[in-house]
């Protein structure tokens, strides 16, 4: 028995034109939203270079590389001074953050029973949420007198120092080190642990000889990203490193000092006076350019290591 | 001769030896290692406890002495009169800017990258760009805000000189700062949506946007909300970009047009501003103990109550949904 089909054409399947228009419109809206992040990057580069160029093109470079102090109001822009400050603070921070963060991560990933994990992990998450000004206050008012002062004499603990600031930055970096390295260790397949245990290895041996080497890319990533974070940290150093707006070259962490970021913050908080008078204000953007590219390179390398962990397993 | 097996009850001597061999020596090194690992976490916990204790110990007496007067007061050169009302207004509008500007843009961008974007070079570029933006130091965003929002757009106010350093410029700067964070957390939330939900919806004839609206977004909502809450907390605690933007740090009472009556008044947006973390930083650097210890700690208490509350809600929310979904 034959049934007659109503005549049928492909255009019947395309649906309501209003629905299609809305579909296309939403696609465009979301694309525009996504392009905003590219716009932000472009604006960062434009603002850094359009203002930093004044400094780069006009400054006497002997005032940048040939001097051992940072004092923009005296037309002295010793970049090595604030670079050394950044390296010292970052170095101290890593001495604090790497063992504490890594140790915590190994425990959470390899040892902690689920209950302990669910109780201990939030400690790191809460610590990650503490604003850096709070750590700055703590570094100046507690770490300086109680840790720096106790170890190196009260006169060193009375005011801020790069050591106190570095410890503060280190505390801020613990959660980052812990979370990146824990992710890396949890990505190591259980088959490796089981094989190791099957060979008679103890937990300690399995952890240090099997899991850690297998996760090494992630551990390197954790270190690099933490260094980048520490170099970019501003407020702890601004509050607790003891320097006001000038600094002299030093390699002693017990001295007061400026990092690149703290030098920028100091310059900016006095911009009303320095604006237009000299190259002091454009030097803010010059340091910004240096900081931007340092951290960019570190982040690109760090993220490449993170990807290597993901690809390996 | 009967076969002796290890399990046979007749040979307890062998059984004992096997049990001993399986147990091994007490693993002293292993125990010490585990104790050291736990100690690492306990040090972090101790630091957190000391920090909170120090802040409460120094800050609560200010609230006890002055109570609402401290919340109500304005910036002042006298520590016993200085208060945080303008800072609260500034931080309120900064948080609002993040919700109004960064949240829709960030979620939209994440939807594009996960649901619409073709796999081509442009998409890869946007992805890499977002990841790198998330790692740009916050103070660099301050330079962006100063050059573009303050100097090019006059702080969206038509003001001149330092009066261009408006709350609107600050809000927009911090919205730009948290945008990549919102994009990345939303992308992760969308990626966790099971493919079967999408296929089911497409199967009954939904368009792409209808699939997103009816299936993807509801499923990803807790994850998106978690990211949004963490971003708000981050923006409210962030001081470095605001210093560059020229937040009012002066102690002479004036300088900001923000007054206690105007918490919800959007005209604050075209005024010069301060914010809680800026107030903390300014006071912490003052020479007088009443400022650098007492008032600074009290302002930190006010800020931490908000920041840690928002963070904890985010953490609890995420853990609850993770557990539900994995069950």
Closest-CA residue of chain B to A103: B37
**Does A95 map to a domain?**
yes
What whole-number distance in Å separates Cα of residue A119 and Cα of residue B40?
Answer: 15
Q: How many other C-beta atoms can be found within 10 angstroms of the C-beta atom of residue A145? A: 16
Q: Are residues A25 and A112 in the same domain?
A: no
Which range, A12-26, B267-281, B312-326, is most confident? B267-281
- Could you give the strand order of the β-sheet that contains A247-248, starting from the edge strand earlier in sequence? A76-77, A69-71, A247-248
Confidence of residue B1 (pLDDT cuts 50, 70, 90): very low
- Show the 3-state SS of B156-219: HCCCCHHHHCEHHHHHHHHHHHHHHHHHHHHHHHHHCCCHHHHHHHHHCCCCHHHHHHHHHHHH
Q: Are residues A106 and A28 in the same domain?
A: no
Mean pLDDT of B198-227: 94
Partnered with residue B166 across adjacent β-strands are B272
Closest-CA residue of chain A to B233: A129
Q: Are residues A248 and A278 in the same domain?
A: yes
**Does A291 map to a domain?**
yes
**Does A4 map to a domain?**
no
Inter-chain residue contact B303 with A291, CB threshold 8 Å? no
What whole-number distance in Å separates Cα of residue B166 and Cα of residue A102?
Answer: 42
Better-predicted residue by pLDDT, B247 or B216: B216
pLDDT tens digits along A189-243: 999 999 999 999 999 999 999 999 999 999 999 999 999 999 999 999 999 998 8
Inter-chain residue contact A137 with B280, CB threshold 8 Å? yes
What total of structural domains would you count in chain A? Answer: 2
A148 touches B at CB < 8 Å: no
Q: Are residues A100 and A249 in the same domain?
A: yes
Q: Are residues A234 and A210 in the same domain?
A: yes
Residue with token string 């696609």:
A27
Inter-chain residue contact A141 with B292, CB threshold 8 Å? yes
Q: B24 contacts in A (CB within 8 Å)?
A: 202
In angstroms, the separation between the Cα of residue B298 and the nearest Cα of chain A is 11
In angstroms, the separation between the Cα of residue B2 and the nearest Cα of chain A is 32
What total of structural domains would you count in chain B? Answer: 1
**Does A219 map to a domain?**
yes
Using DSSP's 3-state secondary structure scheme, residue B253 falls into coil
Position A156 scores a pLDDT of 82
Among B21, B38, B41, B290, the strongest candidate for a mutation testing the A interface, having the largest count of A CBs within 10 A, is: B41
**Does B133 map to a domain?**
yes
In angstroms, the separation between the Cα of residue B118 and the nearest Cα of chain A is 11
A49 touches B at CB < 8 Å: no
**Which residues in chain A show pLDDT less than 50?**
271-273
Closest-CA residue of chain A to B32: A204
Q: Are residues A84 and A168 in the same domain?
A: yes
Position A1 scores a pLDDT of 52
| Beta-strand relationship, A247-248 and A76-77 | unpaired
**Does B2 map to a domain?**
no
Q: Are residues A108 and A27 in the same domain?
A: no
Inter-chain residue contact B30 with A37, CB threshold 8 Å? no
Q: Are residues A172 and A46 in the same domain?
A: no
Position B144 scores a pLDDT of 96
Q: Are residues A153 and A276 in the same domain?
A: yes
Let me know: does B30 contact A202? Beta carbons within 8 Å: yes
Position A166 scores a pLDDT of 97
Domain range for A201 is 61-312
- Element at B45 (helix H, strand E): helix B28-66
A111 touches B at CB < 8 Å: yes
Q: Are residues A133 and A33 in the same domain?
A: no
pTM of the model: 0.90
**Does B221 map to a domain?**
yes
Q: Which segments within A157-304 are labelled E, that is strand?
A: 247-248
Q: B112 contacts in A (CB within 8 Å)?
A: 27, 30-31, 33-34
Inter-chain residue contact A133 with B277, CB threshold 8 Å? yes
Non-local CB neighbours of B190 within 8 Å, separated by 6+ positions: B110, B111, B114, B115, B216, B220, B223
Q: Are residues A183 and A40 in the same domain?
A: no
Q: What's the CATH number where A290 sits?
A: 1.10.3720.10
Q: Are residues A86 and A44 in the same domain?
A: no
Domain range for B101 is 68-326
Provide, rounded to the nearest whole percent, the portion of chain B with pLDDT above 90. 64
Confidence of residue B253 (pLDDT cuts 50, 70, 90): very low
What whole-number distance in Å separates Cα of residue A251 and Cα of residue B132?
Answer: 31
Closest-CA residue of chain B to A112: B38
Neighbouring C-alpha atoms within 13 Å toward the C-beta of A26: 18
Q: What's the CATH number where B108 sits?
A: 1.10.3720.10
Closest-CA residue of chain A to B312: A126
Confidence of residue B261 (pLDDT cuts 50, 70, 90): low
């Amino acid at each position: 028995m034959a049934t007659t089909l109503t005549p049928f054409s492909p255009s019947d399947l395309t649906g309501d034109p209003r629905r299609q228009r809305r579909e296309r419109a939403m696609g465009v809206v979301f694309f525009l939203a996504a392009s905003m992040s590219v716009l932000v990057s472009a604006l960062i580069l434009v603002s850094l270079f359009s203002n930093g160029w004044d400094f780069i093109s006009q400054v006497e470079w002997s005032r940048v590389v040939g001097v051992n102090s940072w004092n923009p109001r005296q037309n002295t822009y010793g970049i090595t001074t604030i670079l050394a400050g950044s390296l010292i603070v970052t170095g101290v921070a890593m001495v604090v953050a790497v063992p504490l963060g890594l140790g915590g991560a190994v425990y959470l990933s390899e040892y902690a029973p689920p209950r302990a994990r669910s109780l201990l992990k939030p400690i790191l998450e809460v610590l990650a949420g503490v604003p850096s000004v709070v750590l700055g206050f703590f570094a100046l008012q507690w770490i300086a007198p109680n840790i720096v002062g106790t170890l190196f004499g009260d006169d060193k603990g009375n005011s801020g120092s790069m050591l106190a600031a570095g410890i503060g930055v280190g505390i801020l970096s613990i959660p980052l080190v812990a979370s990146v390295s824990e992710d890396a260790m949890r990505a190591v397949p259980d088959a490796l642990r089981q094989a190791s245990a099957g060979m008679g290895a103890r937990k300690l041996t399995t952890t240090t000889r099997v899991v850690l080497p297998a996760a090494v890319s992630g551990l390197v990533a954790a270190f690099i990203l933490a260094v980048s974070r520490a170099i970019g940290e501003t407020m702890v150093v601004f509050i607790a490193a003891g320097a006001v707006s000038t600094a002299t070259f030093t390699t002693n962490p017990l001295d007061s000092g400026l990092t690149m970021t703290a030098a920028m913050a100091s310059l900016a908080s006095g911009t009303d006076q320095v604006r237009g008078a000299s190259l002091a204000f454009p030097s803010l953007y010059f340091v910004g350019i240096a900081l931007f590219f340092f951290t960019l390179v570190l982040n690109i390398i760090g993220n490449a290591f993170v990807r290597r962990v993901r690809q390996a397993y | 001769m009967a076969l002796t097996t290890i399990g046979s009850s007749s040979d307890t001597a062998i059984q004992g030896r096997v049990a001993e061999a399986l147990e091994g020596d007490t693993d002293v090194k292993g125990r010490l290692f585990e104790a050291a690992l736990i100690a690492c976490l306990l040090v972090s916990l101790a630091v957190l406890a000391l920090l909170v204790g120090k802040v409460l110990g120094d800050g609560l007496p200010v609230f006890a002495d002055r109570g609402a007067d401290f919340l109500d007061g304005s910036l002042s050169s006298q520590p016993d009169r200085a208060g945080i009302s303008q800072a609260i207004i500034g931080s309120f509008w900064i948080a609002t800017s993040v919700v109004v500007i960064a949240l829709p843009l960030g979620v939209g961008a994440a939807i594009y990258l996960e649901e619409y974007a073709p796999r081509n070079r442009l998409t890869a570029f946007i992805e890499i760009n977002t990841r790198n933006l998330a790692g740009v130091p916050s103070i660099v965003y301050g330079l962006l805000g100063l050059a573009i929002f303050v100097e090019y757009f006059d702080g969206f106010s038509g003001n001149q000189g330092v009066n261009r350093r408006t709350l609107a410029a600050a809000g927009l700067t911090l919205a730009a700062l948290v945008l990549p964070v919102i994009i990345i957390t939303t992308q992760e939330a969308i990626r966790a949506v099971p493919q079967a939900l999408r296929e089911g919806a497409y199967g009954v004839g939904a368009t792409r946007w209808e699939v997103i609206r009816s299936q993807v977004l509801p499923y990803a909502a807790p994850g998106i909300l978690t990211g949004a809450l963490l971003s708000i907390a981050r923006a409210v605690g962030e001081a470095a970009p605001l210093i560059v933007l020229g937040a009012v740090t002066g102690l002479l009472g004036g300088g900001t047009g923000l007054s206690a009556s105007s918490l919800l008044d959007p005209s604050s947006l075209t005024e010069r501003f301060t914010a809680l973390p800026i107030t903390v930083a300014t006071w912490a650097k003052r020479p007088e103990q009443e400022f650098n210890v007492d008032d600074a700690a009290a302002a930190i208490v006010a800020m931490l109550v908000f920041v840690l509350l928002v963070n904890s809600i985010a953490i609890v929310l995420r853990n609850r949904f993770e557990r539900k979904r994995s069950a």
